[in-house]
Structure 1
Amino acid sequence: MRWIIFVVIYVLLDVYTYQVFKTVSRYSWIYYIYLFLSLAVLANLLYQFNSGEGDGWAGARSYAVGFFLVFFVPKLIFLIFMFGEDVVRLFVGGGRKLANSGTDFNLPSRRKFISQIALGLAAIPFVSMLYGMYKGRYDFRVLKYTLYFDDLPEAFDGYRISQISDIHSGSFDNHEKIKYGVDLLREQDSDVVFFTGDLVNNEAAEMQNWKELFSTVKARDGVYSILGNHDYGDYKNWESAAAKKANMDTLKDIHAEMGWDLMLNEHRFLEKNGERIALVGVENWGAGGFKKNGDLDKASEGLTAKDFKILLSHDPSHWDEKVRTDDKHFQLTLSGHTHGMQFGIEIPGWFRWSPVQYRYEHWAGIYEEMGRVLNVNRGFGFLAYPGRVGIWPEISVIELKKGPKPA
């Protein structure tokens, strides 16, 4: 039933799309080509998600979602303009009828320039989302931050951290592009590298073809990692609980094979010139129905508020609801999870917007509250929509400095 409703809504939106093409151009074949492509995209989506084939949100299913969004989002723009114009036409026609009671009720003709505006605006997401699938998803960016802390141990003044998150290896299909991203990470030559969860989409096997490449990621003080919500295999129907557990064991082994120190509600110390900072890694803890395996108290057992701490926690909602008010004072938290929804607008220092902000208060970049700092990495990979528009795949590089932040 839900698919029937979905198809009806999609087709009804094409009615308004037809109005745009009909008003702008006298050549009806242009619309019929569009309609054919639109229905083909819909048919492919229905096939991919009802055939019993496919692998979660990756591969052919991912592309089915991508092309569906390419056609669906512009339809919403057509709907807004055409429906809005219909409301105005209805009032104008009704006003004329009231003013001239002896005449028939007639709706005014559509205005060509309204349809032209709608078509022009709809072309922006149409082209952008195609670009996001072709190039944007591998358009890796290095974002650099300098963070100041009064209580940072002197020996760690100038200490450099690289962070990546949300690899989602099951979505990858271009070894050359991923190698470029990994090489870019290695070029940062940071003192330590952190990975903040979601190595795979569903299964550990997704990482088999990529672990050799990611094992080349090294740092002087090591590579440390945690689990994200997708790493537990909860989004796949397993034949048995034993199979699911075996998958998790394999995933943990892969972290070890790559030389990554996987932290499961525990902590480590980095020591330098007789001083130290604590690395705290929790399992996934997320609000809104996500797995809550993260145990902050267990992971930080024995630490005090005086210890300088870097917390790795996949979901930024953990920081919102627990970390920023914790008495142990976690100075820096590194998260991911949101991907910035892989779609948005960012003009550094001026404007930021993404639909994900209506779900997550902290969704990308640096946030500071109550003397605590959070960085939400926009993600290295992608999921579902096989692209990125405006929110590019990210490598965070953070330099720690001792002292107050310059005015």
Structure 2
Amino acid sequence: MLRWIVFIIIYITLGIYTLQAIKAATRYPWVYYAYMVLSLFVIGNFIYQFTMGDEPGRVLSVPKSYAFGLLLAMLTFMSITIVFLFSEDIFRFLTASYHKIFGGTKEFSLPQRRRFLSTIAMGIAALPFSALLYGMVKGKYNFRVLKYNLEFDDLPQSFDGYRITQISDVHSGSFDNREKIEYAIDLINKQKSDVLLFTGDMVNNMAEEMLPWKGLFSTLRAKDGKFSVLGNHDYGDYVSWETEEAKSNNLTDLKNIQKEMGFDLLLNDSRYLQKGDDRIALIGVENWGRGGFKKAGDLKKAVSNIDKDDFKILMSHDPSHWEDQVLKDDYHYHLTLSGHTHGMQFGIEIPGWIKWSPARWRYKYWAGVYEEMGQMINVNRGFGFLGYPGRVGIWPEITVITLKKRSLT
């Protein structure tokens, strides 16, 4: 209860301070009242959803995620506005102190500059505020197909030109627009790849989240099959369960759903993809993540039936596994496919110019293709979304990788 009181006091304080900027920038009272109504609605809805709303046992239901998203947008607007106003207040304080100490009658209250700074502050604050709202309405379903040609010296000749479609982090419990998901499924099928690989987090917490989407995802097609691994959210670790048996049954249900959708779920296991006399090894580990994330992945067990000299593709949900264990392993893993980071669902990407997201503060390898020690990883930015119900700059991704045999000439 105390934390709610503290949070409300902080929010109201920020709101009042921001209101001063609005009053300085415009003389229209309806603008003040509109801002006050909106800010009170945002905090009221957030408190309601997280205290008395539906589905109290889930981490974030759809209504909760929207309440969080609106709060995030409002706090961003307030914070940026306050930075400008606070700098002006500091200037006014220092000016007043100077004149008080050294004397003088120069006017230090400059209402015109105050109005100018308030207008600039709100104009700048409106940009991320609008972007966050856009991300909630449009950005989260702004699916992009990213294509890579990856060359390898020892790729079996028959697999030259082999196409892989990778998707990751579906988070089906967050979906709220069937038409958009139908579009994305059709977009995946249009790639006509040889194999489809899903790298974990089918749900947010519970297997039942996938039930409304099971039929749709069953329509995914790939000539050589569909393969999957588990992500950290698939184990149901982030919600409370009445018994351990209920939690275990949830995971069993999710495994069965994946099977019913046509996915071959690799649980620290491997398969061979065959073309003529050539083959490549497909390896899938359970989730292994740095820090507090589940470490169920067992690389040694997963490759127990694989020859050391095989060309290997590894599916591992969390890219920290690649950094901490895979690169140091005795086996050479030519290509690892991961997800997990979502690119933080927020950032700036201009190909050839800039690639930035707060995700880089936690993950060295957070989006796209990287190469270390002659081994490659692709970190998929994610198909779905979690927490903030949107995406800004880091769009939902469908990856298409074409394997190429590097020419020796």
State the AA in 1 paired with 2:63: A
**2:86 is the counterpart of 1:86:** no
User: Which residue is equivalent to 1:140?
Assistant: 143
User: Which residue is equivalent to 1:363?
Assistant: 366
**2:224 is the counterpart of 1:233:** no
Does the CA-based 8 Å contact 1:56-1:236 persist in structure 2? yes
| d(CA) in 2 for partners of 1:277, 1:357 | 32
Aligned length: 405
> Deviation per CA, 1:128-171, whole angstroms, max 9, x where unpaired?
11111111111111000111111111111111000000111111
5 Å-filtered alignment, 1:194-233, equals 194-233=197-236
User: Which residue is equivalent to 2:317?
Assistant: 314
Partner of 1:325, secondary structure, is coil
| d(CA) in 1 for partners of 2:359, 2:12 | 27
User: Which residue is equivalent to 2:75?
Assistant: 72
Instruction: Report the alpha carbon displacement of residue 75 of structure 1 after superposing the two structures with TM.
Output: 1.2
Does the CA-based 8 Å contact 2:270-2:305 persist in structure 1? no
State the AA in 1 paired with 2:361: Y
| d(CA) in 1 for partners of 2:375, 2:323 | 11
| d(CA) in 2 for partners of 1:163, 1:205 | 23
- The percentage of aligned residue pairs carrying the same residue is 58
- Aligned with 1:245 (options 230, 244, 248): 248
Partner of 2:377, secondary structure, is strand
- Aligned with 1:273 (options 270, 276, 279): 276
Partner of 1:384, secondary structure, is coil
5 Å-filtered alignment, 1:97-246, equals 97-100=100-103, 108-109=110-111, 111-246=114-249
| d(CA) in 2 for partners of 1:113, 1:304 | 69
> Deviation per CA, 1:102-128, whole angstroms, max 9, x where unpaired?
x69965545222212211111111111
State the AA in 2 paired with 1:217: L
State the AA in 2 paired with 1:363: W
| d(CA) in 2 for partners of 1:258, 1:169 | 14
Instruction: Report the alpha carbon displacement of residue 247 of structure 1 after superposing the two structures with TM.
Output: 0.8
| d(CA) in 1 for partners of 2:152, 2:4 | 53
Instruction: Report the alpha carbon displacement of residue 51 of structure 1 after superposing the two structures with TM.
Output: 1.5
TM-score, structure 2 as length reference: 0.95
| d(CA) in 1 for partners of 2:10, 2:326 | 42
Distance 1:364 1:373, change over 3 A: same
Does the CA-based 8 Å contact 2:285-2:302 persist in structure 1? yes
Does the CA-based 8 Å contact 1:170-1:200 persist in structure 2? yes
> Deviation per CA, 1:46-82, whole angstroms, max 9, x where unpaired?
1111126324312211111111112111111112211
Partner of 1:280, secondary structure, is strand
Partner of 1:6, secondary structure, is helix
| d(CA) in 1 for partners of 2:3, 2:17 | 22
Does the CA-based 8 Å contact 2:370-2:378 persist in structure 1? yes
Partner of 2:81, secondary structure, is helix
Instruction: Report the alpha carbon displacement of residue 261 of structure 1 after superposing the two structures with TM.
Output: 0.3
State the AA in 2 paired with 1:21: I
User: Which residue is equivalent to 1:20?
Assistant: 21
Partner of 1:314, secondary structure, is coil
| d(CA) in 2 for partners of 1:38, 1:52 | 19
Could you list the runs of 5+ residues in structure 2 that have no partner in the other structure? Answer: none
Farther-moved stretch of structure 1 (22-31 vs 253-262): 22-31
Does the CA-based 8 Å contact 1:92-1:108 persist in structure 2? no
State the AA in 1 paired with 2:145: V
Partner of 1:209, secondary structure, is helix
Partner of 2:283, secondary structure, is strand
Instruction: Report the alpha carbon displacement of residue 32 of structure 1 after superposing the two structures with TM.
Output: 2.4
**2:377 is the counterpart of 1:374:** yes
